[in-house]
Amino acid sequence: MPFYHKLGKIPHKRHTVFEKESGGLYYEQLFGTEGFHGFSSLLYHTQRPTQVKSVSEPIDVAPVAAVGKNISSRMLRGFDVKPVNDFLESRVIVLFNNDLNITCAAPKKSMTDYYYKNADADEVIFVHQGSGKLKTLVGNIDFAYGDYLVIPRGIIYQIEFNTEDNRLFIVESFSPIVTPKRYRNNFGQLLEHSPFCERDFRPPHELETHDENGDFLIKIKKENVLHDVVYASHPFDVVGWDGFNFPYAFSIHDFEPITGRVHQPPPVHQTFEAHNFVICSFCPRLYDYHPKSIPAPYNHSNIDSDEVLYYVDGDFMSRNHVEKGYISLHPGGIPHGPHPGAMERSIGQKETAELAVMVDTFKPLKLTQAAVDMQDESYVTSWL
């Protein structure tokens, strides 16, 4: 995250003695990415964060392609993913390539028996239904409907849900998730024309310090393999930290749409970017104000990218039938556009209440069997 934040108590200088009031020393940990080049934070633990008691046999959780080369438009019914008690078991990968996994999840229960660390990927968890608290070793963040939870790789966390009716749309990125470069100045500050600013980001605000010994299970995913690692001390034993590498929340409702006299291209909706893909937010907004404008998107060719749209809420004017949780996939190589009649219906309309999350990838996506099982077979011919 390109701004500085701190929480709890830290020493005056880094890499110096930090004494406990009860005697002894706190243990410093550099928590960084991309070696010593990327974002980093300095964490101070009550106990050494390296005390492993056991490691289980690894479990392969790599996604498997049911459909390889793909040039067919598809519509997936994301809410067909069945609610499951366990958070990790509820996560169903539907689309993937070497840059990311796209997942639907419907967890019913809070994480209480273990902690989770994704050592493969940054996670962007979009909260479609539900509310609760993201609990991490660097502090807690409250979340609700419409929040993006951005969790850097390596963050140890639990999620506490307020209800059992939860729906999540998750993007795992194998490269760092950042804000679009064109929105930032040379020092990383978001510029005035950005559709959001640092004030909209909610960093950890509540630091829980647990100075405990025992058996603490952390499920760690690395190279698409899940490991059960038992540590001798509580993973949330941080008394303070500072730096630039931490989780945060951003509400899609705080995204300020960019509009114009005529229809604006999809990049105006961009919210995050990573290597070979972007994430965009389609939010309620006024339509184009040229007297002869056509608010519906023009037909366009996806030659170099696959476009995924996750429908959250509202009436999407470019589609004749779409429901909450639907996921459209328009692969590279073919054109796509509004359904028959959608363009004509949009003329003269003044605003839209649509809400959606888009993922555009610059490498082809593969479908899992779960995706195949939840697709609407008639979608590919729905433009006739």
Range of the domain at 207: 51-62+82-237+246-252
Pair 156, 260 in one domain = no
Whole-number pLDDT of residue 319: 79
> Same domain for 355 and 222?
no
Q: Look at residue 301 in the predicted model and tell me its pLDDT.
A: 86
d(CA 271, CA 180): 7
Distance from C-alpha of 383 to C-alpha of 218, rounded to nearest angstrom: 48
Q: How confident is the model at residue 35, as a pLDDT? A: 83
For the cut 80, the answer to whether the pLDDT of residue 316 exceeds it is: no
Burial class (CB in 10 A: 0-12, 13-18, 19+), 298: exposed
Tell whether 263 and 204 lie within a shared domain: no
- The verdict on 179 and 99 lying in the same domain is yes
Instruction: Tally Cβ neighbours within 10 Å of residue 213.
Output: 12
What's the half-sphere exposure (Cβ side, CA atoms, 13 Å) at 262? 3
Do residue 306 and residue 261 come from a single domain? yes
Mean of pLDDT values over 37-61: 95
Residue 69 placed within a domain? no
196 and 264 share one domain:
no
Do residue 279 and residue 331 come from a single domain? yes
Same domain, 212 and 262: no
Q: What is the pLDDT of residue 370?
A: 97
CATH number of the domain that 100 lies in? Answer: 2.60.120.10
Distance from chain centroid for Cα 291:
38
Among 225, 252, 279, where does a domain finish?
252
pLDDT tens column, 283-295:
999 999 999 999 9
Q: What's the whole-model pTM score?
A: 0.96
Give yes or no for residue 11 having a pLDDT over 70.
yes
Q: What is the pLDDT of residue 34?
A: 84
Region 181-209 average pLDDT: 95
Answer whether residue 61 shows pLDDT above 70. yes
More confident residue, 34 or 320: 34
Task: Match 């934070």 to its residue by tokens.
Answer: 41
Q: What rounded mean pLDDT belongs to the chain?
A: 95
1 confidence band (pLDDT: 50, 70, 90) = low
The tens digit of pLDDT for each residue in 220-266 reads: 999 999 999 999 999 999 999 999 999 999 999 999 999 999 999 98
Position 303 confidence tier, pLDDT thresholds 50, 70, 90: confident
Q: What's the domain count of the chain? A: 2
Is 28 inside a domain boundary? no
Say what the pLDDT of residue 314 is.
86
Reported confidence tier of residue 136, pLDDT bands at 50, 70, 90: very high
